Structure 1
C-alpha cells in the first residue's frame, strides 16, 4: 500500500460524505481510506456506513482529533500518510502529485501544497480564479522551514508525510487541542527531517464559524505551549523559537490587556522580558499599564512594533 489517507471526524454528518468523495475521486488509486469517528453524536457514524466499501470506518470514544489521527496511524499500512480534516476537500490530483514528489525526493520527509481557504460550506464557482493560501504568505520549506512555520502554518489537510517519520516522532500530541500539527512538524524539524513545498493549489479548506481557530486568545496561548515544548526538547530551533516566543507573549499580553486582564498581561510581559532581558519593552509595558485608556493602548501599540528578540531564558 502506497498511501494511507486518514480522516478524523467529530459531528460532521452533513459534510463527511463530501470529504470522503473528494478522496475517492483521486486520480491516484493505490491508497486506503481510514475514517476515524471520534465519538460523534449527530449521525456521523451512520453517514459513514453509507459511504461505500472503499472506506474503512473506525470508532473511538471522544478523545480529540489527535487521538483519532493516532488511531489511524496505528492502523495504517501505507508508506506515506495523508490527513484530511472532515470539513475540507481535495482536488483530484492531490495524492498523485505529492506521491510523485516524495518518490523523487527520498531526502524529504514531508511535502505540503497550496490551496484555498473559503468561508462557509459552499465552494464558490470561481474558486480557480481566487487567491490561494500562500499567495501572500511565505510557505515553510527547505532551510527556511523552521522560521516560516512560526509565522505561517502548514495546514494538516495540505500535507503528505512518510509514515516512518511520523512514527519515529511519536505521532500527534493528544493533550493539545490546537496546533497539534505544528507540534508534530516541529518534532520532525528537531530530528533534522526535511520539509518541501509543492506550489500547486490542491486543497479546499473550509473556515467555519465553529472552528477551533476562531478563539483568538486560546489560539495564541496554545501556540505558546507548543513553542515552549520545542524549546525545552531541543536547542536545534532556539535561534528561531526565541524571537517567535517573544512575539507570541506580546500577542498574548495584548489580547489580555484588551480583555482587562492586567495580571495575565503582566505575566506575559515578564515572560517576554526573560527571553530578552535587555529590552525596554517591559518597563514601557508597565508604564502603559498605569496610564488611563487610551494612552496606555498607544504605548502598547508602539511597544509591539519594536525590533526583534535576542536569546534569553524560557519562562
Structure 2
C-alpha cells in the first residue's frame, strides 16, 4: 500500500526538521512526501530547497492549511493520503500500523490513531477515548480526527470536494463530517502513534476567537444536520465554548466557561460529555 504524505508549511522553521525526520523514520516508508509552502517568499523557498527527498509546492500567498492540504492532495499520485502538520511528530510505526489495519479491514476507507500532546516539558495528555467507527452524530459534536492522525483514500477526499477553504478553524471536523455523510467508513487504532505539539504559537485570545468563528461556520453550513440529530447541537456548542474559553483570557475566558457550564447544568445529556479533543 503506497501512501502520499502531505505536510502544510507556513514559517515552521523551528519544528519542521523533526516532523520530516519522523516521516523518514517510518517502518513503512512513505511513497512520496509533499510539502506545501503556504505563502512563498525567498526565505521559505531557499529553506525548503535544501531537502532533496521532498516534493515542494509553493503557493503564492498564505491561504491557510485547508487550501495547502488541498494542493497537496491534488498533486499526490498514490491511492492513500496521510497528513502531518509541520510541528507534529509521528511515532516510527504509525504508518505501518495504519496500513495493516486498512489491509486487514477493507471495509474502512480510512483510519486514525490515538494522540499524545506534548510540549518542552514532555508528554502532557493522551487521547484514546474515540469511537471505533465514526458516525455522523460523532462528527457533529466534536473533532475526533486530527489531520496528523489520519490516513484516508485520496478518491474519498476528491469525491467530497476536499477541505472547505472558507474554514480557518474546525476544517478537519467539517471534512470528516462530510465523509461520514457520504457513507465513508473511518476506523480507529487505540494507540498513541502521534505526538501533537502544544505550544503558544501566537495570540491565545485570537485562537479562541477562531474556534468560535469556526463553530459558527459549522452551525451555519450544517444546520439541517444538527436538526436531524437532536442533542448534537447543544453538545457541540458546549464543547466549542469550553475549548475556546481555554484559549482566552480575562472576561472572555470567564464568559465562555460560565455559558458552557450553565448549558451543562440545564441540559442533562451534557453531563456525560467529554472534555473535547486535543
Q: Which position in structure 2 is the counterpart of 1:56? A: 55
Structure 1: stretches of 5+ with no match in the other structure: 266-296, 310-315
Q: Is 1:28 equivalent to 2:28 in the alignment?
A: yes
* CA gap 1:118/1:252 in 2 versus in 1, 3 angstroms: closer
The farther-off stretch of 36-45 and 169-178 is 36-45
* CA gap 1:300/1:225 in 2 versus in 1, 3 angstroms: closer
- Residue 14 of structure 1 and its aligned partner are, at CA, apart by 1.7
- Residue 246 of structure 1 and its aligned partner are, at CA, apart by 2.9
The farther-off stretch of 102-111 and 201-210 is 102-111
Q: Is 1:201 equivalent to 2:179 in the alignment?
A: no
Superposed, 1:235-274 pairs within 5 Å as 235=225, 238-240=227-229, 242-249=230-237, 258-259=251-252
Aligned-partner Cα distance in 2 for 1:85–1:106: 27
Bigger relative contact order, structure 1 or 2, given CA contacts below 8 A and separation 6+? Answer: 2
2:160 to 149, 169, 186: 169
Aligned-partner Cα distance in 2 for 1:9–1:170: 22
Q: Over aligned residues, Cα RMSD in angstroms?
A: 3.2
Aligned-partner Cα distance in 1 for 2:11–2:99: 30
1:186 to 177, 180, 188: 177
Aligned-partner Cα distance in 1 for 2:135–2:101: 19
Q: Is 1:222 equivalent to 2:214 in the alignment?
A: yes
Counterpart of 2:158 in 1: which secondary structure?
helix
- Residue 108 of structure 1 and its aligned partner are, at CA, apart by 0.9
Cα deviation code 1:260-288 (max 9, x no counterpart): 9x9xx9xxxxxxxxxxxxxxxxxxxxxxx
TM value normalised by structure 1: 0.72
* CA gap 1:92/1:231 in 2 versus in 1, 3 angstroms: same
Larger Rg: 1
Q: Which position in structure 1 is the counterpart of 2:100? A: 100
1:133 to 118, 123, 127: 127
Structure 2: stretches of 5+ with no match in the other structure: 270-278
Number of residues of Structure 1 aligned to a counterpart in Structure 2: 260
* CA gap 1:185/1:230 in 2 versus in 1, 3 angstroms: same
* CA gap 1:211/1:200 in 2 versus in 1, 3 angstroms: farther
Aligned-partner Cα distance in 2 for 1:178–1:302: 25
The farther-off stretch of 218-227 and 152-161 is 218-227
Q: Is the 8 A contact 1:140 1:154 kept in 2?
A: no
